[in-house]
Structure 1
Amino acid sequence: MNAAFFLALLLYAAAGSALALFSRRYFRRDIRDYYVTSGRLGGVVSALTYAATTYSAFMMLGLVGLAYATGAGALGFELAYLASTVLLLSTAGYRIHRLSRERGWISPNQMLADMYGSRALGLAASLVYLYAMLPYLAAQVLGLRIVFGYGGLGEAESLAASALLVYAWIAVAGMWSVALTNLLQGSLMLFGGLAYLGWLLLFFTPSRGLTPGRLLDDLGSAGYLGLTGFWTPSVFLAYTIPWVFFAVSNPQVVAKLYLPRSGKAYRETVAYFFAYGLLYTLVVVVAGLAARGLAIEGVLPEDIPRDNVTPTLLGYMDPALGSVIAVSIIAATVDTANSIVLAVSSSVATTLGARSVNAARALDAALVAAATAIAALKPGFIVDLSVLTSVILLPVGLVTLVGAYTAGERSAALRYGSLASLLAGAGLATYYAVALGPRRAFTYTVAGLPVSGLVAAVSGAALLASYAAHRLSRGSPRGS
C-alpha cells in the first residue's frame, strides 16, 4: 500500500466532503435545485464546474497516452474540440441559456421536447442518453480503478472505492454539492497537471542526462511533431467530428448551460472555461509528447499501452508528488462522473415524472452501480469509449442546434423530422459500434466517410429536409 497516496486521498475526500456539506445551506430541496441549482451559480463557479465536467480521466490518462502513441495530431484533435466548444457556447449555447431561464428546464431531453413540442422526441433522447452515457460513465470508473491501483488497492476494492466516491457527494445536495466540490477539483486538476509536466521536464528528463530541447529534436526526427501515420484524414475526422458538437450533444455539459444566474455570469463562464481549457490541453499534450521523447531515448518503453503511460510515469516519482498527481486525476474523473450521473438521472426523472429528491438519489445510485458493472468488464480504451459516446450522441447535437434557433416555431415537419434525425443517426452509430467494436468503429469508412461523418450526414439530411418542409409550410423564409 502507498501510504502517501492514501493520505492525499483522505485529505482530498475530507476537503470535498466539507464543501459538499457546506453546499446544503444553498440547497432548496426541490428537484430543480437538486439537478440544476435553479440557475443560481456565478461565473467563476459555473466555469470551473463546466471545465471539470468536460476534462476527465480522458485528459491525464487518455490524452497523455494518445499524444504518446500518435504524436502532435492529438493536439489538433483536442484543440478542434476547444475551438468548436467556445464557438457553440458563444452562439447557440447563449440562446439555450436564455431559454432555460425562461422555461425552467431541468434536463436536456425536457429541453428538446419543449423546443419541438414533441414528447416522443424527449422520450427518445432520454433512452439514447441512458444507453450512450453508460459507457462514458464506465470510462470514468475505469480511470478511477487504474489510479486506485497505483495506490495499491486490488481490482475489486478499486471498483468499490470508485463507485462510493462517485456517488457520495451527489447524494448530499445534487448539483449544488457537485458545483462547490468542483472548485476544489478543478483547481486540483490544473495544479496536478502543471506539477506533472514540471516534474517531467525539469526533473525527470535532466536526471537522465537529457534536456527538453533534445526531446524536441528526437520528436521532430521521428515525425511525432507532425501528423503520424495514425492521423490519416479519415481517422482525424472520425475522432474530431463528434467532439465538434460535444457542447450541444452530451447531456452533462448541456445541463451546465442552465446553471449561470445571468447573461453576465454566462459570458464569464465561457471566457474562464476557454482560458482553463487551453492551458490544461497544452499541459497534457506536451506531457504525452515528452513521454514519447523519453521512449525514443530508451528511458521509457516504446510500447506502453496508451492508458498506462501516466501510471507508468507515476511509478518513477517521489511517492508524495505521485500521490498528489494521482489524486488530481481522481478529482478530474469524479467531477465528470458526478455530472454524467446527474444529467442522465434528470432525463430519466423528467421522463417518468419523478418529483422527489429521494427518487432522484435512487436513480443516481442505480446508474453508478450499472456503470461499475460495465467497468468491471474492462471494455476498450478510455479515449475510444469517450469518443464513441459522442458519435452516438452526435445526432442529438444537431437536433439541439436547430432547436435553439427554431424554438417556438412548432410544426409537424420539425417534430417528425427531428425525431427521424435522432433515431436514424443514433441507430446508425449504434449499429456500427456493435458490429465493429469501440476501436474499429473510429477507423472504418463507408463510401470514404468515417462512421461519425456518415452519422452526421444522415442525421443532418433528415433535419435539413424537415426544416425545408417547415419553411415551405410557413410560406416565407425565416427572418433574421
Structure 2
Amino acid sequence: MLRVPGVGFFSFTTFLGLTLPWLFFSISNPQVSQRLFMPASIGALRRMLLIFLCFGLIYTLVSVIWGFLALVAIPDLERPDLATSALLSSNLIPPVLGVIVMIGILAAAVSTIDSILLTLSSIFARDVYGNLSGNKNDARQLLIGKWVIPVISLLALAFAWMEFSMVAILAVAASVGLVLMVPATIGAFFWRRGTDMGALVSIIGGTLFVAGMYLTGNSFFGLNVGVLGLPVATILFIGGSLLTKADTAHADEFMHAASNAIPRKA
C-alpha cells in the first residue's frame, strides 16, 4: 500500500517539486492571500495563519487515512477519485455521518469557488479593465466584476463537464506558477527596499522561466521547476529591486494610514 506506482518517477526531487509550491499556498493563491487584508490586528493575522497551518496538517492526515480506508474496504474501486463517494454510500459509514460530511464538503467547495470567482473578477475589473481603460470609478469596476463572474462560471462548468484528464497536471502547474508571487508578496510587507519593478521582473521573468522549463523537459541540473521556480523568482525580485529605486514615501504614507486604521485597546 505504501509503494508508489510507476517506475522511477517519484524520486525525492519529484516529491520536493510537487510539495514546495504548496508550502506557500496561503500566500501564493490570491483567493487565500486576499484574507491577509482582513484581520483587525497583527495578533489576529498571526492567529489566522497558525490556525490555517494546523487545519492543513489535520486535513492532510485525514485525507491520507481516508484513502487507505478506501483501499482496504473497497479494493476493486474503479477510480481512486470515487473513494469518498464510495465510502460515504457504503454500509461502513452511518447515514447521518455521511450527510454531515457531504454538507461539509459542499460548504468548503462553495466557499473556495466563491473566493476564486471574487478574486478573478476583481483582478479583471481593477487590474485589467481599470488600467487599460483608465477608468478608476469603483462603481463602474464593480459592475464590470459582476458581468465577469457568470462568464468565468460558465467556462469553469464547461471545463469540468468535459472531464479533461489534465486537471491534476494543470493544478500542479498552477501551483508552480502562483508561487512566483511569493517573493514580491513577502517583500511588500517586510522589505522596504523592494520595488514595483522588482516585483514585475520577478513575476514576468519567473513565468518565462517556468514556461521554458515545461517546454524543454522540466529538468535543469536534475531539478524540476517546482524546486527552481521559487529561488529564481526570489533572485529576480532582489536583483530587480536593487537596480531600481524604492518608493519609500508612499510606503511610509501607507504604513501610517494602516496603523491609524487598526483599532487599539484603551
- Give the TM-score taking structure 1 as reference length: 0.43
Match of 2:183 among 378, 394, 398: 398
Matching residue of 1:280: 59
Q: CA 1:432–1:314 in 2, change beyond 3 Å: closer, same or farther?
A: farther
Paired AA for residue 219 in structure 2: T
Shift of 1:337: 0.9
Question: How has the CA–CA distance of structure 1 residues 379 and 354 changed in structure 2, closer, same or farther, with 3 Å as cutoff?
Answer: farther
2:71 is the alignment partner of 1:310: no
> Aligned partners of 1:348, 1:354: CA distance in 2, in Å?
14
Q: Deviations over 1:356-398 (max 9, x none)?
A: 2443322222222222222223233655443321111121112
Distance 1:377 1:319, change over 3 A: same
Paired residues for 1:216-255 under 5 Å: 219=1, 223=3, 231-255=10-34
Identity of aligned residues (%): 28
TM-superposed CA distance for 1:269, in Å, is 1.9
Q: Residue 368 of structure 1 aligns with which residue?
A: 153
Distance 1:457 1:267, change over 3 A: closer
- Tell me which residue corresponds to 2:115: 339
Where structure 2 has 5 or more consecutive residues not aligned to the other structure, the ranges are 131-135, 246-266
Residues 290, 453 of structure 1: CA spacing in aligned structure 2 closer, same or farther, 3 A cutoff? same
Closer/same/farther in 2, CA of residues 354 and 308 from structure 1, 3 Å limit: farther
RMSD: 3.2
Q: Distance in 2 between matches of 1:270 and 1:455?
A: 24
Note the C-alpha offset of 1:343: 1.4
| 1:463 equivalent among 232, 237, 240 | 237
For the structure 1 residues 453 and 386, does the alpha-carbon distance in structure 2 shift closer, same or farther, using more than 3 Å as the test? same
TM-score norm. by structure 2 comes to 0.73
Q: Distance in 2 between matches of 1:315 and 1:274?
A: 31
What do residues 115-158 of structure 1 show as CA deviations (whole Å, max 9, x unaligned)? xxxxxxxxxxxxxxxxxxxxxxxxxxxxxxxxxxxxxxxxxxxx
Equivalent in the alignment of 1:422: 203
Do the aligned partners of residues 320 and 385 (structure 1) sit closer, same or farther apart at CA in structure 2, a change above 3 Å counting?
farther
Change (3 A) 1:270 1:416: closer
Relative contact order, higher structure (CA 8 A, sep 6+)? 1
Give the whole-Å Cα distance in 2 for the aligned partners of 1:262 and 1:464.
Answer: 28
Structure 1's 345 and 431: CA in aligned 2 closer, same or farther, altered over 3 A?
A: farther
Q: Per the alignment, in what secondary structure is the counterpart of residue 387 of structure 1?
A: helix
Amino acid at match of 1:388: A
- Equivalent in the alignment of 2:260: none
Deviations along 1:91-119, one digit per CA (max 9) or x if unpaired, are xxxxxxxxxxxxxxxxxxxxxxxxxxxxx
1:237-290: CA deviation from partner (whole Å, max 9, x where unpaired): 111121122222211111011111223332332333333333332222211123
The verdict on how the C-alpha distance between 1:319 and 1:354 changes in structure 2, with shifts beyond 3 A counting, is farther
> Superposition pairs for residues 409-448 of structure 1, below 5 Å?
409=193, 414-430=195-211, 435=215, 444-448=218-222
Question: For structure 1, which segment, 265-274 or 325-334, has the greater mean C-alpha deviation from structure 2 after superposition?
Answer: 265-274
Correspondence 1:350 to 2:126 = yes
Secondary structure of the 1:237 match is helix
Deviation beyond 6 Å, 4+ runs, structure 1: none
**What does the per-residue CA deviation read over 1:301-347, in whole Å, with 9 as the maximum and x for residues that have no partner?**
2x643322222323314655434323322222111111111112222
CA contact (8 A) 1:394 1:456 kept: yes
Match of 1:386 among 171, 190, 193: 171
Q: Equivalents in 2 of 1:285, 1:242: separation in Å?
A: 19
Query: Which residue of 62, 82, 102 corresponds with 1:326?
Result: 102
Conserved in 1, the CA contact under 8 Å of 2:183 and 2:234?
A: yes
Residue pairs, 1:176-191, within 5 angstroms = none
Q: Secondary structure at the match of 1:379?
A: coil
Q: Which runs of 5+ in 1 are unaligned?
A: 1-218, 472-480
CA distance in 1, matches of 2:188, 2:158: 35
Q: Deviations over 1:44-84 (max 9, x none)?
A: xxxxxxxxxxxxxxxxxxxxxxxxxxxxxxxxxxxxxxxxx
Cα distance between partner residues in 1 of 2:51 and 2:237? 33
